[in-house]
């Protein structure tokens, strides 16, 4: 089993602008050897599919760029014909907008806004946030996800570094303050990094994930719940993403930590730390790292990418997901051509049942022995 995945975005990409472009992209991925694609379906407060939930809540059915179409359905049709699985990616999660003062969502639902200690709209790295701890906000996101689960023949759903997530600077809105007071008879600490305050909010996100996982499985137990947080424990300390607990509690079937390092040695160090971590080492068969291949002016080298794939296999990690599709196509498909040497033999993407059976048949000690042999070889090579 191997996860050979790639994210498809609307940023710096024209793939979703027509059905013809979608068909061409999927055919290219099939030829290159990929077995799963993660298309964005929730971004900048809008969907890439006709959404009853979005229409009933905000009066907008789909991103106007795609009015009259259903890019998600078009992608699924193309992917199914090529044997590629589709896992819709809810990119924005609990973020409402980017450098837009909350955008349409918070203009219409100001009571959903997250607040920092000063009472301002929560903004981190340019993203403005809804209150991820508010039950109405959680219900809205759950309904968005579940309507996709119910209406499309997909392999699973995916959250990322914004789902479930909440910047540590948030939680100072009146709703969350009152919730904390009810539990502890005092105001939340003004220090957003206070360990108890941080973990209390993280636990609320974990419970949201637990409910969502059960809801998805209740509709179709063979669907996968896939998550792509940042690196632990940074993701917990900055965005309240307790990914180690998520794995240990069985709240995710696949995890793709974003090991977005710009040289192989840095990537290797993070993988080594993860492999040795007690919270992650037992869960390695579920972990397929995210690899950054393009961002702004950065482009990964073919040598780095192939080395990372080799290293993942050596460590017992069952694959990787690449960010993002357009990086494969630049310079006359310069990255995709050598990648085909690693993806030459077709590998079908697993269902949740197949994945769980495979994981159950991977003794931890055997994985470590295999990894040790390969690690010795890799250390001599790099």
The beta strands (E) that lie in 277-361 are given as 290-292, 294-295, 298-299, 319-323
Place of tokens 């197949």: 354
Residue 368 above 50 pLDDT? no
Separation CA 238–CA 168 (nearest Å) = 5
pLDDT tens-digit map of 191-241:
999 999 999 999 999 999 999 999 999 999 999 999 999 999 999 999 999
**Burial, 94: exposed, middle or buried (Cβ in 10 Å; 0-12, 13-18, 19+)?**
buried
Separation CA 30–CA 8 (nearest Å) = 14
Q: What is the structure's pLDDT at 364?
A: 57
Is 375 strand, coil or helix? helix
Q: What is the structure's pLDDT at 278?
A: 83
Mean of all residue pLDDT scores within the chain: 94
Are the C-beta atoms of residues 48 and 15 closer than 8 Å to each other? no
Q: What is the structure's pLDDT at 379?
A: 46
Could you tell me the pTM of the whole model? 0.94
Q: Which two tokens stand for residue 10?
A: 């609307």
Place of tokens 């359905």: 73
Q: Work out the percent of the chain whose per-residue pLDDT is above 70.
A: 95
């Amino acid at each position: 089993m191997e996860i050979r995945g790639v994210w498809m975005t609307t940023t710096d990409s024209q793939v979703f602008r027509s059905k013809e472009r979608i068909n061409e992209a999927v055919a290219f991925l099939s030829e290159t050897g990929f077995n799963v694609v993660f298309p964005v379906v929730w971004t900048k407060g809008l969907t890439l599919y006709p959404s009853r939930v979005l229409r009933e809540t905000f009066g907008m059915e789909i991103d106007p760029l795609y009015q009259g179409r259903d890019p998600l359905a078009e992608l699924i049709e193309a992917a199914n014909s090529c044997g590629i699985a589709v896992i819709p990616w809810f990119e924005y999660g609990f973020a409402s907008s980017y450098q837009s003062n909350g955008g349409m969502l918070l203009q219409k639902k100001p009571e959903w806004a997250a607040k920092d200690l000063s009472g301002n709209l929560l903004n981190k790295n340019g993203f403005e946030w809804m209150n991820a701890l508010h039950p109405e906000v959680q219900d809205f996101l759950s309904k968005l996800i579940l309507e996709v689960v119910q209406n499309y023949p997909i392999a699973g759903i995916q959250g990322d570094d914004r789902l479930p997530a909440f910047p540590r600077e948030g939680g100072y809105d009146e709703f969350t303050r009152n919730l904390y007071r009810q539990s502890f008879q005092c105001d939340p600490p003004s220090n957003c990094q206070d360990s108890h305050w941080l973990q209390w909010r993280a636990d609320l996100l974990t419970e949201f994930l637990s409910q969502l996982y059960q809801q998805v499985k209740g509709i179709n137990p063979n669907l996968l719940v896939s998550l792509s947080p940042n690196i632990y424990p940074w993701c917990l300390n900055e965005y309240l993403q307790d990914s180690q607990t998520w794995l240990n509690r069985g709240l995710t079937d696949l995890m793709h930590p974003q090991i977005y390092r710009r040289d192989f040695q840095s990537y290797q160090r993070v993988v080594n730390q993860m492999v040795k971590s007690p919270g992650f080492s037992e869960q390695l068969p579920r972990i397929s790292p995210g690899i950054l291949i393009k961002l702004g002016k950065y482009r990964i080298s073919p040598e780095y990418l192939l080395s990372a794939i080799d290293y993942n296999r050596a460590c017992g990690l069952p694959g990787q997901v690449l960010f993002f599709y357009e990086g494969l196509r630049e310079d006359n498909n310069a990255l995709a051509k050598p990648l085909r040497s690693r993806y030459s033999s077709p590998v079908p993407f697993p269902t949740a049942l197949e994945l769980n059976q495979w994981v159950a048949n991977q003794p931890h000690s055997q994985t470590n022995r295999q990894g040790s042999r390969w690690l010795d070889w890799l250390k001599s090579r790099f």
